[in-house]
A and B are shown apart, each in its own frame.
Chain A
């Protein structure tokens, strides 16, 4: 299973280039081509790259955007300084947290709603009367492609309840690129269950209130998730880091940012501190423990 998530986008500016006197700064950002938000849309990747490069040029800088197939390779390039900033999925981050903390700093992520943290719902059709995690057995489920967090959540629940990982008890897992499709799969009886974010659920219910009658929320996760974690090499110039967060704060004022925000459907960029990482760290540690136990 892919444990690569999230995405990123981002922008900004970093490092001033002393080598090339034509630019005030030069920096390289690394993104995962799969397992993140950007992995869902090829067009999005192209758009984000073009936008970031244009923004940097507007600020007399040069920004290189690179996409990596695996978190390991990306992190390796971050460590050795080929990449100044990298976006990693949470699974990889918590697995390698100790090493990562030694080489990186200035963590950030995207807020997908008003309260920074996301929450997942496990839903089923009301008419099917599926009300517990145990009912997942021999059922089909829809999950979002490249969203390791939702998979981790339902997998952990299965491990806790059924003492088995989710893949072993389910009849089929259907991955979809869009969360709305996941929900509709249950609505239109394509699958028995699906895991969607609270944001998607609320949006879909708002669009079609009859969903509340036809679908049932079987289980809700804690509200502790964010889509990925971005981090800077500790050796990266502090001015570049400061510039990144300043621009992040004023993101809505940058030309073209509105289209990128609408495309990736996030609200804002925020700094991730140790305290906000703590619940997720506990959560992931428990999950890693359960995985080991019921492997």
Chain B
């Protein structure tokens, strides 16, 4: 028999429960039966003692009446000899001596009447005999003649037979217990099997089902709770199977859809790279176009600015040429005048040439970061647009520009300042702002050198202020703005120079703040 079937199983628990219950009942029954049997044996012993006492008294009635101690002694002695179970007999006269007779001796005790019992009732008890050094059965038998008490007979009987019977009884109980134990084991086994079988069956089927075999069903056809449980279980499994079939079907459909979509994605994936490349190419192309546009715009801007810069020297050059022509007509043209005029022309052309060099170097990008003076740089930018602003009646408010050493790409910074100034100029021109001005301040804090450019062009609408740094976003008329300038400026200042380019509206216009890390804060 597999011991594991008892280990934490319903069968084992039911078996133990039944076995313990039956054993307990049988144990109690055996215990009770033992007590009853013991009492029965003792009663038997008492009956025997009573019978002996009756016989002794009956035979010795006359001797007792006439106090014939010899006859009593001889009879009782012979009686003790004949009955080996009798360890001793005491014939006690109420008002006389006690004859103590045992198997191998007798004696006469002179016991005063006052020391004798006054109770004349039958009594049996198991007592310890100091003489025999063992337990004995003592039976007290009161003797009456014509309802007059004469004395007592004390019969001391051996408990050997009692113990033998007890031993025999215990042996019988042992055999019976053994048989009952085996029977109980067998009965408990079969009852436990009978009770646990449907549950074990249910459990096995559950295991099969949990392992995925939904075809199994519990075959229990009883009307009890287990039968109902089995029916419910089968119903549950049916539902489960049905659900699983539906799920399987759905799964299969899903799989088909996934396969289809996967196929589409695969196809898409296969063409995606080409499309991305195409899109990137298009994007690059667009960007190139924009950059080109931006360059062209910048170039146009530069040319405009150059034109403004050249306007005065060209006028002066024209005047020099008119003076030369006038002097020639007046005959005042001499060497000194020519030398003076030549020097003046050379100076003017040299100035114009320098203007070109300034713009060229201005738009030449720096390759490495460097320390530069913020005030000087802003001033240089101002100088490039100063003429243009003046041409459009835009006043430039500029306090003394502090010399603040910052660290970054100098030319790119200048372009940013120029871009912001240019945007301010365009806004002022577009809005036809009266008393238009652009105000420039330079200050510093713990980390940055700040260039603040304010105008009074009415500010940037609030709904677009967050979008002005987005690429290709412009409020200018078609063909006048690219939407690249502020985007490029934001990228240059914040990503390339670790600075900040911020915008906010003031009461009358916009305020741009360019923040460039101080020289001491270089990375």
A interface list, Cβ under 8 A from B: 178, 180-181, 184-185, 187-188, 190, 206-210
Q: Once the chains bind, are A181 and B108 in contact (CB under 8 Å)?
A: no
Q: Once the chains bind, are B70 and A188 in contact (CB under 8 Å)?
A: yes
Q: Once the chains bind, are A188 and B107 in contact (CB under 8 Å)?
A: no
B497 to chain A, nearest CB (A): 141
4 additional A-B pairs beyond A207-B105, A208-B107, beta carbons within 8 Å, are A181-B70, A184-B74, A188-B69, A209-B105
Q: Once the chains bind, are B70 and A184 in contact (CB under 8 Å)?
A: yes
A198 to chain B, nearest CB (A): 19
Chain A residues, Cβ within 8 Å of B77: 207
Q: Once the chains bind, are B107 and A210 in contact (CB under 8 Å)?
A: yes
Q: Once the chains bind, are B73 and A184 in contact (CB under 8 Å)?
A: yes
Give CA–CA (A184, B73) in the complex, Å.
9
A291 to chain B, nearest CB (A): 32
Chain A residues, Cβ within 8 Å of B70: 181, 184-185, 187-188, 190
Q: Once the chains bind, are A178 and B74 in contact (CB under 8 Å)?
A: yes
Size of chain B's interface in residues, with CB distance under 8 A?
Answer: 10
A-B contact count (CB 8 A): 26
Q: Once the chains bind, are A207 and B74 in contact (CB under 8 Å)?
A: no
Interface centre among A187, A188, A209 (most CB of B within 10 A): A188
Chain A residues, Cβ within 8 Å of B107: 208, 210
Q: Once the chains bind, are A208 and B74 in contact (CB under 8 Å)?
A: no
Q: Check B145 for interface membership: any CB of A closer than 8 A.
A: no
A36 to chain B, nearest CB (A): 22
Give CA–CA (A130, B351) in the complex, Å.
193
Give CA–CA (A178, B74) in the complex, Å.
10
Can you spell out 25 A-B residue pairs with CB atoms less than 8 angstroms apart?
Answer: A178-B74, A181-B70, A181-B74, A184-B69, A184-B70, A184-B73, A184-B74, A185-B70, A187-B70, A188-B69, A188-B70, A190-B70, A206-B104, A206-B105, A207-B77, A207-B104, A207-B105, A207-B106, A208-B105, A208-B106, A208-B107, A208-B108, A209-B105, A210-B107, A210-B108
B115 to chain A, nearest CB (A): 20
A245 to chain B, nearest CB (A): 32
Q: A183 — nearest CB in chain B belongs to which residue?
A: B70
Interfacial residues of chain B within 71-116, with CB under 8 A of chain A in the complex: 73-74, 77, 104-108
Chain B residues, Cβ within 8 Å of A181: 70, 74
Interfacial residues of chain B within 59-77, with CB under 8 A of chain A in the complex: 69-70, 73-74, 77
Q: B97 — nearest CB in chain A belongs to which residue?
A: A188
Give CA–CA (A70, B32) in the complex, Å.
69
Chain B residues, Cβ within 8 Å of A188: 69-70
Give CA–CA (A206, B77) in the complex, Å.
14
A-B complex: 3 closest residue pairs judged by Cβ atoms: A184-B70, A207-B105, A188-B69
Give CA–CA (A178, B105) in the complex, Å.
18
Q: Which of B69, B74, B104, B108 contacts A180 (CB 8 A)?
A: B74
B96 to chain A, nearest CB (A): 12
A199 to chain B, nearest CB (A): 16
Chain A residues, Cβ within 8 Å of B104: 206-207
Give CA–CA (A181, B70) in the complex, Å.
7
Chain A residues, Cβ within 8 Å of B108: 208, 210
A2 to chain B, nearest CB (A): 23
Give CA–CA (A188, B70) in the complex, Å.
7
B79 to chain A, nearest CB (A): 14
Chain B 266-305 near chain A by CB (<8 Å), digits 1 or 0: 0000000000000000000000000000000000000000
Chain B residues, Cβ within 8 Å of A208: 105-108
Give CA–CA (A187, B107) in the complex, Å.
11
B62 to chain A, nearest CB (A): 15
